[in-house]
Structure 1
Amino acid sequence: MNLALAARSRRLLWSLVRPYRVRAVAAVLLVIVDNTTMVAVPLFVARGLDTGVRNALGGNWIPLLLAVAGVTGCALLGGITTFAFVRISGRLSQNVLFDLRMRVFEHVQRLSIAFHENYTSGKIVARLTSDLESLEDLLDRALNDALSAVLSVLTIAVVLVWLDVPLALVVLAGFVPLVYVTRWAQRHQRAGYRRTRGAIAKVVVHFVEVMAGIRAVHAFRREERNETLLAQEDSIYCAANTSALRGMATYIGWARLIQNVSTVLILVFGAWRVIHGHTEIGVLAAFLLYLRQFYGPVDELAQVFNSYQSAAAALERVSGVLEEQPSVPEPAQPRALDRPRGELCFQNVGFEYPARRTQAEEGEGQPIPVLPTFSLTIPAGQIVALVGATGAGKSTLAKLVARFYDPSRGSVLLDGVDLREISDVRLRRAVTLVTQESYLFSGSVADNIRLGKPEATDAQVHAAARAVGLHDFAMSLPEGFATDVRKRGGRLSAGQRQLVAFARVFLADPAVIVLDEATSSLDIPGERQVQHALETVLRDRTAVIIAHRLSTVAIADRVLVLDSGRVIEDGTPADLMAGTGHFATLHTAWRESLV
C-alpha cells in the first residue's frame, strides 16, 4: 500500500514538472557547473601548495598565480551559476505549485456532491495550504540542496580516489554505517510525517468549522469547549512533528559523529603517510578540505530528507484527492437537449446513499437506503409540492432531479432522456436547484444575479430583478446594483437574499426548478414577498417544491406526501385537504398554529 502511494505521488510530481522539463534540465546543468567549480577549488589549492609555492621559492610565480586565478575563477563562476539557478528554480517551483493548486481546485469543483458531503472543506483547505507549503519548501530549496549534495559526494569520491586511494578508502568506509542510519531514518520519518499531515488537516478542519459557525459559537458559549478540542487536535500534531524531528535529530547526530571520526582518522593516517613520503602535504590539505565538502552535504541531505518526507506525505494526500473520480460522471456521448419542455419521469427508481469515506481516507461504510423502488411522472409545466416528515426522502428526490446523485436503480428522465445521457452544461441550463441557504458570493448584486447567465446584459439583469420584486430595493442601495453584498450576502436580509436567488433563476430561464425549503427561514412579511416572486418565477415551468410551510404548497398543482421514501398520498392541494389523510392532518395542525 505504501509503495503504491509513493508511486502515485511520483507520477503526480512528474506530471507537474514535465511541462517545464527544459527549464528543469537547465537548472540541473547549472547545478553541475556550480558543483564542478566547488570541487575544483581544493585541487587548485593542492596545486598551489605542492607546485606553486615550490616554484615561487625558486623565482617562478606563474604556477602559484595560475592556482590563485583558478580559485578566483571558480568563485566567480560559482556565484554566477548560483544566481542563475535560484532564478530558474524559483520560477520552476512557483509554476509547478501554481499548476498543482489550480489542478486541485478545478478537480475538486468538478467532483460530485457525494465527495463534498464526505470530505470537509477544512480538509480541502489543508490540502491547498499546509500540504502545498511542504511541497514548496522541497521545490524552492531542498531539491537544489539534494542535487548539489549528491553530485558533491559522487564527484569528490572520484577525486579522492584519484588523489590517494588508501586515504579515500578511509573516507568511504564511513558510508557503511551512514547507509544503515539513513534507511532507519527513512522508515521512521515517513511514518511520522504521514501522521503530521493527517493531524494538521484535523486542526484546519476544526478551525474552519468554528469560524464558519461563529454565530452559534457565541450564541451557545462554545468558546472554551472549542479551545479544548483544538488543543487536543493540535497536541496530536505537535507530538507527530516532535516524533519526526526526533528522528531527524538522531540522523544528523550520527552523521556528524561519523564525519568527525573520519576527520580524525584522515588527519592521523594522512600525517603518517606524509611523514613517510607516501603522499604530498598538498594532497593531505586537499583531503581535509574535501572532507568538509564530502560530509557537509550529508547535513544538507538530512535537511532535504526532512523536507522530502514531509512533502512526500503531503503529495500522497494531494494525489489522493486528485485520484477521486466524480460519482456522477459526464456521459461519453451526450444526447442533445436543445429545447427542454420539463417533463420528469422516475422509472423504477431506488436510491441508497453510498456512506463511504473518500479514497484519500481509509475504510468504507455501508450504503444507507433512502428510497425504495418507485415510479412517478411529472408532466411539463406542473408544479409539484413534496410534503413529509424529516427524513422522508424529499431532499433526496430533489437531488436526483438535479442529478447531484444518480439513482442506485432505475432512471430519471427529462423529456424522455435519461439524465445520465445529458451533458452537465445542458442539464444545468435545464434544471436549477434553489436551497434555503440562497448562497451569495462576495461581489455586487448584479454579479450575483448574473450567475444564472454570465453573458446577460445590465438590462436583462434589471428585468429579472424587476420580475421578482427586487429592483426597487436594489436601486435604493448606496451603489445600486453595483453594491457589494459582502461575504455570503451578509449585507442583505434572508428574504432579500432569496429574491436575489430567484432573480438569478429567472435570468437562467430553466425548464425545471427545484426548490428545497426555499422559504423556511423567512418571517411572515418576507415569506409573502418571496411567495409573490415565486409565482412569477415558476410560471410556465415544471417545479418540484420541498416545503414544511404549507403556505408554499398552495401554489402547487399537485401534492405528493412522502413517508420513508414512499408516496403515500398524491393529489391536488384542495382534494387532499378535503380528505382525512396525512396531508389533511398536517394542514389542520398548520392552520391551528397560526391562530
Structure 2
Amino acid sequence: MTRPMEIEAEPGRARKLLGSLLRPHRVRAVFAMVLVLAENAAHLVGPLLIAGALDVGVPAAVKGDPVPIAWFVAGYAASSVLTAGLRWGFLLVSGRIGQDVLIDLRGRLFTHSQRLSLSFHQSYTSGKMIARATSDIDTLSDLIDEGLDGLISSVLTVIGVTVLMLSLDHRLALIVLAGFVPLFIATMVFRKESARCYRRTRTEIAKVITHFTETMTGIRAVQAYRREEANAKVLDEHNDGYRLAQNRATWVLGVYLVVLRMVGSLSFVIVLAVGAWLVSAEEMAVGVLAAFLIYVRLFYDPLEQLGTFLNTYASATAALEKISGVLAQEPGVPEPARPTPLPSARGELRMSSVSFRYSEETPVVLSGMDLHVPAGQTLAVVGATGAGKSSLVKLFARFYDPAEGVVSLDGVDLRDLGEEDLRRAVVMVTQESFLFTGSVAENIALGKPSADRSEIEAAARAVGAHEFITALPNGYDTDVNKHGSRLSAGQRQLVAFARAFLADPAVLILDEATSSLDIPTERAVQRALETVLRDRTAVIIAHRLSTVLIADRVLVMERGEITEDGSPEELLGSGGEFASLHSAWTASLA
C-alpha cells in the first residue's frame, strides 16, 4: 500500500510564492504604504502637541493668553481626525489587495491540482487538498487582513518614535533602546519555536479534515459496519494532536509577550525615575518628560503588536509552505512543449516494449508489453484481479506514462499529443460513473459542451437511457443531486455512457463500465454498444463475458502478461483460460 504523500517544507519556496502573489499589486501596495506613512506621522505628532500645550500653552493661558493652547488643542484634534481618515483609506486599499491575493491563490491551487496526475491524487489525499484550500488559505487571510497592517504600522511607529525620542533627549532614548538587546534575543528564539509549532498545527489540522472528509464520503460503509464509535475515537486522537500543537504555539507566544511587557515596564520605570531627576535638576521640561513617557508607551505597544504579527506570520508561513508544496508538484503526465497536432484521429493504438509500475515502491505491473490494436477494432481484456487490465487501459488513456517503451495513437507517442487532442480522441467510462451536481442533460453534455438538446437526447437514446430519463420528475432537467444520488447505480452508468457517446471519440475505453447494470439494462446496453462501437476503436474490460462476446478480439492477461489473444470464437475452441472463464460464467447463469 502506498503511503500518504508528505511534501517537505521549504520556507524559501513559500516566500517566493508570497512575492509572486503580491507582485501584480505593487502600485496599490505603494499607495497603501504612503497612506500608512501619513497616518503614522499624524499619529506621532500628538505627543509633541501635548508637550507644547504643557510647556507653552498652559503658561500662556495662566498669563491670560488662551490662543496658544487653543491652537495646540485644535492641532491635536486635527491630527486625530486625519489619522482616522488615513486609517480608513489604508484599510480599504489593503483589504482589496488582500482579497485579490487570496482569490488568486485559491484559483492557482484549484487549477494546478486539476492538472496534477492521478498518481499524485492517489497518494495525496483529498482531505489534505481540502485543508490546503480552506484552513490554510484562511490562515493566510488572517495574515493579510490583520497581520500586514499591524506589521507596517508597528515598524513605522517604532522607527518614528525612536527618531522623536532621540531628538527629545538622547540619554533617555538610549535607556529605552538598551531594552532591544534582550528583545532581539527573545524574538529570534520565538520565531524559531513558533515556526516549528505552526508547521505541526497545519499537519494536525490536515489530519482532522482528512478523517472528517473520508468519514462523510464513506458514510454508508461507516454505518453499515458500525464504525461510528471507532471513527469518533480516531477523530478525538487527531483533535488532541491539534489541541496540543495549538497549545504549545499559544504558550510560546505567551512567554514572548510576557518578556516583551516586562522589558517595556522596566524601561518605563527607569525613564520615569531618570526623567524626574532631570526635571528636578531643571535639565528637562515637564512637558518634554510627559511627551517622552507617552512615546515610551507608543514604542512598546507596537512591539507587542509586532509579536502578535510574528505569531500570525509563523502560522501563515507554515500554511503557505504546505500550499507552495502542492503548487511545486509537477504533473506526472506533463504537457509536451511542442505538441504534435492530431486534428482527426483514426484510433490505431500500439504499445511497444512497454513496462510500467505505479511508483518505485510498488512492483512492476506490465513488463515489456507489445500490443497493436488496429483502428476500428473492439478489443476485450479479461483476467483475474491484479492481472494488469486496468493498468493497460490507463496507459492508453494517458492517466500515466510508461516507465519504458512507447504508447501511441495513430503512430504518435501519447507524450507528444496535446491534452485537448488526446481527450477528444480517447474517452474512458469507468465503474464509478461519477456524476456532478446538476441536471441529467448537463451531465450528458460534459461529453460535448456545445451540444444542443436534440444531440443530448440522441445520445441518451443510443444507450437506452431516454426512457428512464423522461420518466424522471423533470425529465432531462432533473437535478441528479450530489454524486448522482437521485439515480440508481445502473442509471448513473447509462448517463455516463451517454456522455461518452456524445463525445464521439475515436477510442472508447470501458473499464468495468457494465458492472453496475442489472440483466435487463445490461442487455439493452449490449444492443446499444453493438451500434455505438461500430467504426470506432474500443477497449473493454469486463468480468461479465456477455459484454466480452461482442468484441472482435479478446486478450487474456495474467500477472501483467498476455497469455491468450484471439477472437472469442477462436479462444472458446482452444480450451484455454478464456474457455474456462466462459464455462464458469455459463454455469453461474444456470
Report the TM-score, using the length of structure 2 for normalisation: 0.97
Counterparts of 1:171 and 1:532, CA distance in 2? 89
Per-residue CA deviations over 1:86-115 (Å, capped at 9, x if unaligned) read 111111111100000001000001111111
Counterparts of 2:526 and 2:306, CA distance in 1? 68
Residue 17 of structure 1, aligned match among 9, 19, 22:
22
Q: Alignment partner of 1:350: what SS?
A: strand
Per-residue CA deviations over 1:8-36 (Å, capped at 9, x if unaligned) read 11111111111111111111111111111
Counterparts of 1:317 and 1:368, CA distance in 2? 30
Matched, 1:7 2:7: no
Q: 1:426 to 1:331 in 2, by over 3 A?
A: same
Matched, 1:476 2:444: no
Matched, 1:197 2:192: no
Residue 186 of structure 2, aligned match among 181, 184, 200:
181
Residue 150 of structure 2, aligned match among 145, 153, 160:
145
TM-superposed deviation, 1:488: 0.8
Equivalent runs, 1:542-553 vs 2, <5 Å: 542-553=537-548
Counterparts of 1:531 and 1:167, CA distance in 2? 93
Amino acid paired to 2:520: P
Residue 269 of structure 1, aligned match among 241, 261, 274:
274
RMSD: 1.3
Is this contact kept in 2: 1:343–1:414, CA < 8 A?
A: yes
Q: 1:447 to 1:594 in 2, by over 3 A?
A: same
TM-superposed deviation, 1:367: 4.7
Per-residue CA deviations over 1:252-276 (Å, capped at 9, x if unaligned) read 0111111111111111111011001
Q: Alignment partner of 2:64: what SS?
A: coil
Is this contact kept in 2: 1:502–1:533, CA < 8 A?
A: no
Aligned to 2:4: none
Is this contact kept in 2: 1:387–1:561, CA < 8 A?
A: yes
Amino acid paired to 1:381: G
Equivalent runs, 1:242-261 vs 2, <5 Å: 242-261=247-266
Aligned to 1:422: 417
Matched, 1:330 2:330: no
Number of equivalent positions: 584
TM-superposed deviation, 1:523: 2.5
Equivalent runs, 1:219-258 vs 2, <5 Å: 219-258=224-263
Q: Alignment partner of 2:530: what SS?
A: helix
Aligned to 2:120: 115
Greater than 6 Å deviation, 4+ residue runs: none
Counterparts of 2:358 and 2:291, CA distance in 1? 71
TM-superposed deviation, 1:336: 1.8
TM-superposed deviation, 1:58: 2.0
Counterparts of 1:256 and 1:431, CA distance in 2? 67
Aligned to 1:358: none
Aligned to 1:58: 63
TM-superposed deviation, 1:552: 1.2
Aligned to 1:401: 396
Amino acid paired to 1:136: S
Counterparts of 1:420 and 1:3, CA distance in 2? 29
Q: Alignment partner of 2:164: what SS?
A: helix
Is this contact kept in 2: 1:514–1:545, CA < 8 A?
A: yes
Equivalent runs, 1:443-482 vs 2, <5 Å: 443-482=438-477
Counterparts of 2:72 and 2:296, CA distance in 1? 20
Is this contact kept in 2: 1:502–1:534, CA < 8 A?
A: no
Is this contact kept in 2: 1:495–1:530, CA < 8 A?
A: no
Is this contact kept in 2: 1:468–1:536, CA < 8 A?
A: no
Residue 534 of structure 2, aligned match among 536, 539, 548:
539
Per-residue CA deviations over 1:124-145 (Å, capped at 9, x if unaligned) read 1000011001100000011101
Is this contact kept in 1: 2:380–2:539, CA < 8 A?
A: yes
Counterparts of 1:110 and 1:29, CA distance in 2? 40
Q: Which runs of 5+ in 2 are unaligned?
A: 1-6
Aligned to 1:102: 107
Q: Alignment partner of 1:441: what SS?
A: coil
Matched, 1:128 2:123: no
Residue 587 of structure 1, aligned match among 575, 582, 590:
582
Aligned to 1:82: 87
Amino acid paired to 1:335: T
Residue 306 of structure 1, aligned match among 306, 311, 327:
311
Identity of aligned residues (%): 54
Amino acid paired to 1:477: L
Aligned to 1:341: 346
Q: Alignment partner of 1:369: what SS?
A: coil
TM-superposed deviation, 1:524: 2.0
Q: Alignment partner of 2:371: what SS?
A: strand
Amino acid paired to 1:387: V
Counterparts of 1:200 and 1:459, CA distance in 2? 49
Aligned to 2:516: 521
Counterparts of 1:524 and 1:410, CA distance in 2? 40
Amino acid paired to 1:174: G
Q: Alignment partner of 2:357: what SS?
A: strand
Residue 561 of structure 1, aligned match among 556, 569, 588:
556
Per-residue CA deviations over 1:518-569 (Å, capped at 9, x if unaligned) read 1123332332233233323322111111111212111111110111110000
TM-superposed deviation, 1:4: 8.1
TM-superposed deviation, 1:416: 0.9
Amino acid paired to 1:45: I
Per-residue CA deviations over 1:33-65 (Å, capped at 9, x if unaligned) read 111111110000001101111122222222212
Q: Alignment partner of 1:522: what SS?
A: coil
Aligned to 1:47: 52
Aligned to 1:361: none
Amino acid paired to 1:327: G
Counterparts of 1:387 and 1:220, CA distance in 2? 32
Counterparts of 1:98 and 1:312, CA distance in 2? 18
Aligned to 1:359: none
Q: Alignment partner of 2:428: what SS?
A: strand
Q: Alignment partner of 1:354: what SS?
A: coil
Counterparts of 2:525 and 2:209, CA distance in 1? 38
Aligned to 2:502: 507
Aligned to 1:288: 293
Is this contact kept in 1: 2:9–2:321, CA < 8 A?
A: no
Counterparts of 1:28 and 1:537, CA distance in 2? 65
Report the TM-score, using the length of structure 1 for normalisation: 0.96
Counterparts of 1:221 and 1:521, CA distance in 2? 25
Counterparts of 1:336 and 1:10, CA distance in 2? 39
Per-residue CA deviations over 1:465-498 (Å, capped at 9, x if unaligned) read 1211112222222222111111111111111111
Aligned to 2:372: 377
Amino acid paired to 2:222: V
